[in-house]
């Protein structure tokens, strides 16, 4: 009988997830279908937790600056200050992807 007092909070957490939190996490397929591009700049290259490098980049959308990172495969080299296209989701520009195969002068 003690478990019955937990049903209400559990149902509340499930509803909270599906109504509020889940829409905040974008599906990568949605980004591929509904996106725009901007120019991003590599601002740092750091070693990830697994020993592989990660590129830290910044980009601007509607005069607001965003940043992101991309884990790099072994053998892919980027340099601080290089520019690449960034694909982002217009309703939430924090959801983005650095396109390292699209170097921008």
pLDDT tier at 22, thresholds 50, 70, 90: low
Domain tally, the chain: 1
Kindly state whether residue 71 falls inside one of the protein's structural domains: yes
Is 52 within a domain?
Answer: yes
Whether the model pTM is above 0.85: no
Alpha carbon distances (Å) from 93 to 30, 31, 32, 72: 13, 10, 13, 21
Q: Which residue has the tokens 């309703």?
A: 91
Strand 64-71 and strand 36-47: pairing? unpaired
- Residue 22 in any domain: the answer is no
Chain centre to alpha carbon of residue 18 = 20
pLDDT at 6 over 70: no
pLDDT of 55 > 70? The answer is yes
Kindly report the CATH number assigned to the domain that includes residue 41. 2.40.50
What proportion of the chain, given as a percentage, has pLDDT over 90?
Answer: 42
User: For 22, how many CA atoms within 13 A lie in the half-sphere containing its CB?
Assistant: 7
């Amino acid at each position: 009988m003690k478990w019955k007092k937990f049903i209400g909070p559990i149902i509340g957490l499930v509803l909270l997830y599906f109504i509020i939190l889940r829409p905040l996490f974008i599906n990568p397929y949605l980004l591929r279908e509904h996106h725009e591009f901007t120019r991003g700049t590599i601002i740092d290259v750091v070693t990830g937790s697994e020993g592989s490098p990660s590129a830290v980049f910044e980009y601007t959308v509607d005069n607001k600056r965003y940043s992101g990172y991309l884990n790099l495969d072994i053998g892919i080299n980027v340099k601080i200050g290089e520019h690449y296209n960034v694909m982002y989701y217009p309703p939430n520009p924090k959801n983005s992807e650095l396109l390292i195969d699209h170097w921008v002068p």
